[in-house]
Structure 1
Amino acid sequence: MKRRSFLQTIASVSAISPLIINGFNVKAFEPTNLFTLAGAIDCDDRVLVLIQLNGGNDGLNTIIPVDQYSQYYAARTSIAVPENTIIKLSDTTGINPEMTGMKSLFDQGKLKVLHSVGYPTPNYSHFRSTDIWLSGSDTEEYFNTGVMGRYLDYRFPGYPSTYPNASMSDPLAIQIGSVLSTGFEGPHANMAMAFTDPTSFYNIVNEKDITDTSSRSGLELAYIRKVGEQLNNFAKPVKNAALKVPKNVSSLYPAHTFNTPNPLSEQLKIVARLIAGGLKTKIYMVNLSGFDTHSSTTNVGFGVNVNHANLLKQLSTAITAFMDDCKLLGIQDKVLGMTFSEFGRRIKSNGTGTDHGAAGPVFLFGNSVIPGFLGTNPIIPDNVSSEDNIPMQTDFRSLYSSLLTQWFCVPQKDIPTVTLHNYANNLPILQGISNSVKHESLNPLSLQLSLFPNPILHQSQLQIQTVYPIADIVLYDRTGKLMSTISGYIPEGNHTLLFERVGLSAGQYYLQARLINGYTQSIIVNIQ
């Protein structure tokens, strides 16, 4: 029996009978099945905080295209945010009125909005799409490791057998909660630890004392005990870090009560204390559930129902308080945060909510972000069907690659080793990073597209005016699925391409051009 298979078997047994190790509540831990669930700061001192929005966040009610409000309202009248309540981030884009804290971060230059982040052929299953986001796979391929797990294995080779050690005495990653994320799955073991607070520590070991290691199963059990001893050693620096910062200092954290819960704030409180306490952990992952908003309200547990706007308020309040805490604790420059969700929602409402969709917005927050936007508002057609989705503008694998290169200083040549792909890693997201194109200088006139005739019967001419090189031009259908690549690299200047409808059924499509730094421009293509 392979060690991985053996660990899975042991974990399924130990889940039946919780154990206690040195006062810590043990959770069954295994190499989890992916289907079940910048600047002045030294690279080694940087911390990434990932916030997972479980359920599929409704991006159009989070970041609102005010320049297309009439189309937006027509598509989702029953759930549309009233126009007079939207908080404007720019002349064309607004944010949900419950997210006042994140508007403040945006104004301070500490928030970046990435439009329409996703992948080319969306999958609408919660489990599979979460798997894709955490593993970094394509839709039709399956990885049994996670992106962050592979990075940590690259950064700390030999884990877990040689850890903790003098160079890394702390947990490599921490998951707040009782379930370890598959995103931390490494080639040999999950690279993270999970716990709810510094005195309730979750680890991966069966406590049973092993006396016979002569058999193969005995050797496997000895291995498990060894890992357990290592993780008990990891518990000490966690507790020490928490004791150094006995309480949070920000007054912006909300009261957490049964009637007004904010579980994300409670998780981020722990993260802030551990970072400020000197823990060298590289990545933290926290989560906020309830975003599967098929109806206007969703149950988040304990009989508590909240609507989407309330979830966004919890998100905004928690991030704002966490950022304030980091500033007061003197750790703000070493922390970068990112939100993500397994998919977005459909453009058109189903009457009381929205169904599973494709791409959606991602927030980056911290002192190191290049503030503003990456990408443009998604196009909302005049006549929206229940199948209409938001196509991807930025591939989330490019975002991962850019974070690894720009935040964790992974050499470009090593990116394919970590991501198992070779996606662009030059997205303009962090300050102090050299990019061939400065996003701040871009405006709608930097890239212009026109198609004539449109609608198209057989073929049409695509006119392109660009002041920067184009990485590619692609075509998506109404569901957000990538149909074809029209062109690869195109230098700056004026160009004309022949567009033919070969193999395309009648209907509406999105043609999207992407500059080499990730800026995109899209137009609607009508095929007769």
Structure 2
Amino acid sequence: MTSRRDFLKTSALASTLLFVPRFLHKLDAQSLPALQDAGGRRLVVVQLGGGNDGLNTIVPFRNDLYYKARPTLALREQSGLLLLDKDLALNPNMTALKGLYDQGQLTVLNSVGYPNPDRSHFRSMDIWHTGSAADEYLATGWLGRYLDAACAGCTTGHTGIEVDDTLSLAMKGAHKKGLALKNPQKLREVTRNRVLRAASQEPAATGLGELDYLYKTLAETASSADYLYEKSKVYQSKQPYPNTDFAKSLRTTAELINSGLDTRVYYASLSGFDTHVRQQEQQGKLLKDLSDGLGAFVQDLQQAGNLDSTLILVFSEFGRRVGQNASNGTDHGTANNVLLLGGKLRQPGVANAAPDLADLDAGDLRYQVDFRSIYASILHDWLGADNQQILSPGVTPLVGLV
């Protein structure tokens, strides 16, 4: 039998595999109340890292103030803007999303943010990941707390999956967390490491402490790796996807969903949106990657009959300043747009008014929708969870959003 000393020698590999937060100690699932079942529904979160410029994504193309603030960076109707409602248009690179919009499968929320916004990438992303206020510091993510509550009795580790090498704070709870993987085959290969495999079969001695938690989580991970590998062979996507890392992560997500996994939450990311210099080309390429990837993903789910039971949330940690900078780019701003996609949207189209460019806060957009109210709607109305237990008590859902 593998000794604990042998296990500790491989702790670096184990920690990389398991992504266990340092603050986790005793696992006490019995202390967590079970919540309502999600009714077969699932959530896919797409994070746009770097602070996507919302004004050149959802463009207020009939607003003179937009063109005054961005004399060379503003997008004009003759450049191929894809017209929406409320005098707004999609970036010309987002033709696939325009098709989804026309089919009633896209909701646009404008001016989403929070009070006293932070312009630091790291702090603002932490706020979005944890669902906290600007002056509140939480060690768990909003989706991790959902897994804590909804999956108290779960014995597997795949109730939440992030298609990446590392696990986001959003997916880490106090007792449960998501599982990070690039694809099921590679995860299975890692967990079949001789020492880790043997360690995963050794029972914890005391049930207390971080080391024992690692043992228990490793056993969970090894079991999930085998399950995911076998299950993923059920469905092989025939839908053509773009040849990008982002699209590959969505393809993996679609194959897992369409294979019949009982996973409730999936997470994927697209980075590179910190466009301080020469924004137009860089952002245009990223938005095309986003749009084409999501278009193929939605089509894949729809063909397999799983789109109506899937909600997709797209967000970035903040928007950009209204005015362009001297480098033909934009600097860190505040409020931004959020996108929802799915087959059963209750408010398809543009859900609220365009940003008010005549009423700025020192050159930044004022938020009109608190992002935590979107989370509350998703938790309560889509996943059937108690949002008051997972988020701050004062956060209320947006009525009729999802």
TM-score normalised to structure 2 length:
0.86
Whether the 8 Å CA contact 2:85–2:349 is kept in 1: the answer is: no
Q: Deviations over 1:218-261 (max 9, x none)?
A: x643442222112111112211221001x21223x22x2xxxxx
Report what 1:380 is aligned to: 357
Which whole-Å CA distance do the structure 2 matches of 1:110 and 1:390 have between them?
27
Q: CA deviation at 1:11?
A: 10
Aligned to 1:198: 184
> Equivalent residue for 1:479?
none
Q: For residues 260-299 of structure 1, what are the structure 2 equivalents within 5 Å? A: 262-297=244-279
Alignment match, 1:29 = 19
CA pair 339-225 structure 1, distance change in 2 beyond 3 A: same
Matched, 1:237 2:252: no
2:330 corresponds to: 354
> Of Structure 1 and Structure 2, which has the larger fraction of its residues in helix?
2
Secondary structure class of the residue paired with 1:45: coil
What percent of counterpart residues are identical?
36
Runs of 4+ in 1 over 4 A off after TM superposition: 10-13, 202-206, 208-217
Mapped to 2, the partners of 1:71 and 1:134 lie a distance apart of 33
Distance between the aligned counterparts of 1:405 and 1:283, measured in 2?
Answer: 14
> Which residue among 223, 245, 249 is the counterpart of 2:238?
249
Tell me the distance in 2 between the aligned counterparts of 1:344 and 1:390: 9
The 8 Å contact of residues 86 and 354 in structure 2, kept in 1 or not, is answered as no
Match of 2:85?
90
Name 1:427's counterpart in structure 2.
Answer: 399
Higher RCO (C-alpha 8 Å, min separation 6): 2
1:119 aligns with 2:114: yes
- Residues 1:325 and 1:315: Cα distance change in structure 2 (over 3 Å): same
1:392–1:233 CA distance, 2 compared to 1 (3 A)? same
Deviation per residue, 1:45-82 (Å, 9 max, x gap)? 111000000000100000011230x2211111222113
Aligned-partner Cα distance in 2 for 1:401–1:285: 18
- Deviation of residue 32 (structure 1)? 6.6
Q: CA deviation at 1:27?
A: 2.9
Is this contact kept in 2: 1:398–1:427, CA < 8 A?
A: no
1:173 equivalent to 2:160? Answer: yes
| Aligned-partner Cα distance in 2 for 1:415–1:327 | 29
Deviations 1:372-392 (A, max 9, x none): 12221112239x89x411111
Residue 78 of structure 1, aligned match among 72, 76, 100: 72
Letter of the 1:133 partner, please give it: W
What amino acid is aligned across from residue 350 of structure 2 in structure 1?
Answer: F
Give the CA RMSD over aligned residues.
2.9
Matched-pair contact (CA < 8 Å) for 2:204–2:215: no
In structure 1, distance between residues paired with 2:104 and 2:44: 18
Contact 1:32 1:182 in 2 (8 A): no
- Which structure dedicates a bigger proportion of its chain to strand? 1
Does 1:392 find its partner at 2:370?
no
In 2, distance between residues paired with 1:344 and 1:106? 22
For residue 438 of structure 1, what is the aligned residue in structure 2? Answer: none
Question: Does the 8 Å CA contact 2:142/2:170 hold for their aligned counterparts?
Answer: yes
- 2:389 pairs with 1:417: yes
Residue 215 (structure 1) shift: 8.9
Q: Deviations 1:119-154 (Å, cap 9, x if unpaired)?
A: 011000111000100101111111111111111111
Quote the Cα distance in structure 2 between the aligned partners of 1:235 and 1:56.
33
Any stretches of 5+ residues in structure 2 without a counterpart? 1-6, 24-36
SS at match of 1:426: coil
Match of 1:150 in 2: 145
| CA shift for structure 1 position 91 | 5.3
- The question of whether the paired residues in 1 share the 8 Å contact of 2:61 and 2:75 is answered with no
Q: Which amino acid aligns with 2:211?
A: L
Matches within 5 A, 1:427-506: 427-430=399-402
Query: Is contact 1:249-1:328 (8 Å) kept?
Result: no
Code of the residue aligned with 2:238 in structure 1: it is: V
> CA separation of 1:84/1:269 partners in 2, compared to 1, >3 Å: closer, same or farther?
same
Decide whether the 8 Å contact of 2:232 with 2:259 is kept in 1: yes
Q: Distance in 2 between matches of 1:138 and 1:223?
A: 30
Contact 2:207 2:213 in 1 (8 A): no
Change (3 A) 1:107 1:67: same
Distance across 1 between alignment mates of 2:187 and 2:272: 25
SS of aligned partner of 2:187: strand
2:203 and 2:94 map into 1 onto residues whose CA distance is 58
Aligned to 1:367: 343
Is 1:329 the counterpart of 2:304? The answer is yes
Distance 1:423 1:317, change over 3 A: same
Secondary structure, aligned partner of 2:39: helix
Q: Match for 1:227 among 217, 220, 241?
A: 217
Q: 1:130 to 1:329 in 2, by over 3 A?
A: same
The alignment partner of 1:44 has SS state of: coil
Q: CA deviation at 1:156?
A: 1.3
Moved more, 289-298 or 364-373: 289-298
Counterpart Cα distance in 2 of 1:95 and 1:333: 24
Paired residue secondary structure (1:349): coil
1:214 Cα deviation (Å)? Answer: 7.2
What amino acid does structure 1 have at the position aligned with 2:89? Answer: G
1:432-453 deviations in Å (ceiling 9; x for gaps): xxxxxxxxxxxxxxxxxxxxxx
Q: Which moved more, 1:268-277 or 1:235-244?
A: 235-244
CA offsets 1:177-232 (integer angstroms, 9 cap, x no match): 1110101121234x100000111118899938498977999x64344222211211
Residues 308 and 11 of structure 1, relative CA distance in 2, 3 Å threshold: farther
Distance 2:205 2:165 in 1: 34
SS at match of 1:379: coil
Q: 1:401 to 1:77 in 2, by over 3 A?
A: same
Is 2:112 the counterpart of 1:137?
A: no
Cα distance in structure 2, aligned partners of 1:147 and 1:226: 23
How many Å apart are 1:158 and its aligned residue? Answer: 4.9
The separation in 2 between residues aligned to 1:93 and 1:49, in whole angstroms, is: 26
Correspondence for 1:469: none
Aligned residue pairs: how many?
Answer: 375
Answer whether contact 1:26 1:201 (CA < 8 A) is retained: no
Secondary structure (helix, strand or coil) at the match of 1:201 reads helix
